[in-house]
Structures are given as structure tokens and as C-alpha cells.
Chain A
Amino acid sequence: MAHYDDDGWGMPAAGPSRARRDTAMDVDDPPLVARAADDEPARAPRRVDFRPPPPSAETPFEQLLRHWMNERHAPDVLHAQEGLLARLLDHIKKQTDDVALLRADPDSSEDEHFRIMLVQTEAERARFALRAYIRTRLHKIEKYARYIVETPEMRERLTQAELEHAQRYAALTESHFTRAVLDALPEEQRGLDDNVPFMPPMISRPDKTRAVFAHALVQCPPVHLPDGSSMEMERGQISLTPYHVIEQLLARGEVELV
């Protein structure tokens, strides 16, 4: 009985007939707009809520694409979107099951076969975006693994599984360096986090001064630029700024990176 309306998901549903789908809409999962509203208790002003308030027209798949692009452009690791991923995966699974069921049905018409194919293709594309998103995060997490492990603020942004991987990876690189290089050196030279003046630190961290293109989704509150002046972005405006300037706006979902 898993049939969703097309608009709610941005994917054609695998329902065999329109009539069935219409009735299914009422009994099925509540529409996503309502759910997003549940997630978001009345926001106190100025409180930083890291769950971006999705513009109501945005489907979960579009949300994923937005998070994916943000993740690809941001130098830092952004907040994990566990709920969104779980919902999408769940949906893909249901659609795949439905498709399998419908394919097995000898009565389905030519028209329906065409629709099934559309659904399958769309599911493949959703899978592609999902794994690209996960891999993008994974890449950054590995790059900054040692920094993440020792910074509580970074740890909060990761899912449990990602955090575990980061810890394993950090331990792994350290032990690799230790065994390959450091063990052979005299004892005084074995540190892995020397702080030497005029040398870059040994634990690489995200470069928040990197320039990014930010596209304002709504009218944004003013942000401070490095030179002391402030900038206010109109809706739809695109600016090139250092990442740290729009970091908070991005976390609140008021801008997207392009």
C-alpha cells in the first residue's frame, strides 16, 4: 500500500491506477510538508536551528540535491541529514518493491510498463545522488579525520556511523605513519602534532576562508564581512564570499552554495 503522490516526492509513483493513488494519499504517510513542520518546533528568535526550514515547495529529492551541492562546495563538513536520507532510502525501497510486484503481474498494460520504467530510472537517479552525497561527506571526513576526532563541535555534525569511521580512519593513519616512519626515528622526533612556527599545522583542518558562491533563498539577515562592513543579501542574490561569512546562513538553510 505504498503509494505516494508524485509531487510529494519528485518521482513518479509506481501506482497502477490514479484512483488508487488518490485514496492512498489520505491513509499513507502524512505529507512531507506536515512532517517537516513537526520537526521544527516554534523557533525562538535568534536561536540557531540547524535543521534548514525547507521551502514548502521543495521535495525531499530536491532537498537532497541541495544538501549534496552544499556539501560539495563547502570546505567544511556540514550537518548530517540523517532523517532525510533514511526517508529517501525507505521510499526507494518501497518503490522498488512495488515495481517488482507490478512487473510480476501479467495483467499490467503497456502503459503501465512504461510508467514502471520511469519509476525505475528515477530510483536509479535518486540512488546516484544519495551515494554521491555520502561519498562527498566521506571524502571530507577522511581528509579532516584527526581534526574531527579531537573537536567536539565537529563530532556533533556527523552521524554515528560517520563518526566511527572517522575515528577508525584517524587511528589508522596515525598507526600507519607511526609504523612506516616514526618508529624508525629517534625518540625525540616521534610527535604527530608538532607545532612549529612558520610551518602549517600537522592536523589539517577545513579552510573556512575559502571563497564560495552563495545563493540567497530568502531575504537574509545582515552578515559581517571580514573588513568590518556588513552585507545583506536579497532573495535570489548570488555573492562570492569567504565561507565563514555565510556559514550560519547556510546552516539555517537561508542560502545555498552554487
Chain B
Amino acid sequence: MSSSARQFGELATQLVTESRRSSATDTLLKYNDVLVRQIVREQRQLEALIQAAMARLAEGSADGELNVTPDVLLYQTAILRNKRCLLAYHAHRVERLKDMYWAVGGALPLLLAAPAAGSTAASAGDVRAKLSPHEVDFLRAYNDSLRDFRADVLAGEELDLFAPISRPPRDLHVLVRVVRDCGVIQTEVGAIDFRRGQRFLVRRSDVEHLIVQGYLEEV
């Protein structure tokens, strides 16, 4: 075995360290498919080892009573630990993705879109490339579930669930600068064609989602 010099669980530690790094730097790292696969392989090896050990024990005892030897315990501990590390890694990523999803105001297409050229919005990184296919599916399903929830609870457009909740509104109106073209938007005073570089004084609730998604910037 080429990996004989390695301890059980070492790879899993690397994986969890990656999660910690992601938290510490507040970035989403690329899904580490290679490492996950390696750990899964280690799990299979461990399972084979534990099965062999159990078989040996069963042979040794005539009356069917197993005297568990330390090696079995060791294998089992390693298996459980690896599994928890794998799940923790995925759970941590899911939480991060959810945070990112809420940060762009639930605009999933924007989150998954390919990096737009010349855009300054933080959301438009190459997020998609960092996700595993399962994670993309997860986000889609999460989005659907929330949309259902919103339709059930909130009386239509009375309440925008995705608007930011970090600061209570102080003013009705807000002065915004257009960072990216976003076409014609219906507002309280009629339709406005937002073009890059322009400034407008508009009602906050009319354009809140555009601010969140990075099309407009508060001045």
C-alpha cells in the first residue's frame, strides 16, 4: 500500500482544515473532489479491514460470543471520524452557499451566472466553477422551497423577504448610482431606464433588490 505511512484520518483532518480556512478568510473554496474521493477510498479500506477482523474473531470463538479486540475499535473509530468529517465539510459548504444566496437577495441566476465581464459586484465571481454538481442542485431546490414558502406566507408583494435585514430603513428615498445597466424599472414615479453612470433619487423599496444584487450603489 502506497499510503501505508499515513495515519487513518489524516486526510479527513485536511478536509476539515479547509473548511476552517474558508470560514477564516470568508471565501468559498473550490469543492475538493479529489480529497473527498481519497477519503471515501480510505473508508472502503477500513471497512474491508474491519470485516476481516470481525471474521477472524468469529472464527476464533466457538459459542458465537465475540471478544472485540482493540484493532476493531480502532478501525471503527477511524471510520466514524472520517464520516463525520466528510459530512461536516459538506454541511459547512451548504451553510456558506446559503449565506451567499441570501447575500445576493435570493437571485439564484445571478449567483450561478458565469462571471460577467467588467462587473464589480462581489457576487459575480466564478461561483459556479467552485461548486459540485450536487451543490448546484441543492441551491436550486432550496430556492424553489423558499419561493413556495414566500408564496404561502406573505401576501404577495406586501413584503420582500429577501431585502436586507441588517439595517432598518431611515429614509423613504435613496440616492443611487447605477453600476450596471439594468433596463427599465417600474417605480413609484413611473418607469426609469437605469443606465450605467447615472444617478437617481428613488424610493428605496422600489430598487432595494437592485442594490442588493449590485446593480445600483448607494451614494
Chain B residues lying within 8 Å of A164, measured Cβ to Cβ, are 148-149, 152
Please judge, given known A-B contacts A92-B158, A93-B155, whether A179 and B134 are in contact too, CB under 8 Å.
yes
A-B contact count (CB 8 A): 112
Evaluate contact between A125 and B90: CB separation under 8 angstroms: no
Secondary structure type dominating chain B contacts? helix
Choice from A124, A134, A184 contacting B153 with Cβ under 8 Å: A134
Please judge, given known A-B contacts A121-B172, A128-B168, A194-B80, whether A165 and B149 are in contact too, CB under 8 Å.
yes
Evaluate contact between B172 and A189: CB separation under 8 angstroms: no
Evaluate contact between B84 and A199: CB separation under 8 angstroms: yes
Q: Does A181 contact B (CB under 8 A)?
A: yes
Evaluate contact between B145 and A127: CB separation under 8 angstroms: no
Q: Does A132 contact B (CB under 8 A)?
A: yes
Evaluate contact between A160 and B40: CB separation under 8 angstroms: no
Of A142, A186, A194, most B-chain CB atoms within 10 Å: A186
Of B83, B94, B137, most A-chain CB atoms within 10 Å: B83
Chain B residues lying within 8 Å of A117, measured Cβ to Cβ, are 172
Evaluate contact between A135 and B80: CB separation under 8 angstroms: no
Chain B residues lying within 8 Å of A125, measured Cβ to Cβ, are 168-169
Please judge, given known A-B contacts A134-B153, A185-B83, whether A169 and B44 are in contact too, CB under 8 Å.
no
Sorting the interface of chain A by its residue count into under 10, 10 to 19, 20 to 34 or 35 or more gives 35 or more
Evaluate contact between A89 and B154: CB separation under 8 angstroms: yes
Q: A139 to nearest B CB, angstroms?
A: 9
Please judge, given known A-B contacts A131-B160, A165-B149, A181-B86, whether A173 and B47 are in contact too, CB under 8 Å.
no
Bound: A117/B169 CA distance, A: 13
Q: Does B159 contact A (CB under 8 A)?
A: yes
Q: B68 to nearest A CB, angstroms?
A: 14
Chain A residues lying within 8 Å of B204, measured Cβ to Cβ, are 124
Please judge, given known A-B contacts A93-B155, A189-B47, A189-B79, whether A128 and B165 are in contact too, CB under 8 Å.
yes
Choice from A127, A162, A185 contacting B159 with Cβ under 8 Å: A127
Q: Does B141 contact A (CB under 8 A)?
A: yes
Bound: A121/B171 CA distance, A: 7
Q: Does B43 contact A (CB under 8 A)?
A: yes
Chain B residues lying within 8 Å of A135, measured Cβ to Cβ, are 161, 165
Evaluate contact between A189 and B171: CB separation under 8 angstroms: no
Evaluate contact between A128 and B169: CB separation under 8 angstroms: yes
Chain A residues lying within 8 Å of B169, measured Cβ to Cβ, are 121, 124-125, 128
Evaluate contact between B87 and A181: CB separation under 8 angstroms: yes
Name 26 A/B residue pairs within 8 A (Cβ), A-sorted: A85-B153, A93-B155, A121-B171, A124-B205, A127-B160, A128-B165, A128-B169, A131-B160, A134-B153, A162-B149, A164-B148, A164-B152, A165-B145, A165-B146, A168-B141, A176-B134, A176-B137, A177-B90, A177-B91, A181-B36, A181-B40, A181-B83, A185-B43, A194-B80, A194-B83, A202-B87
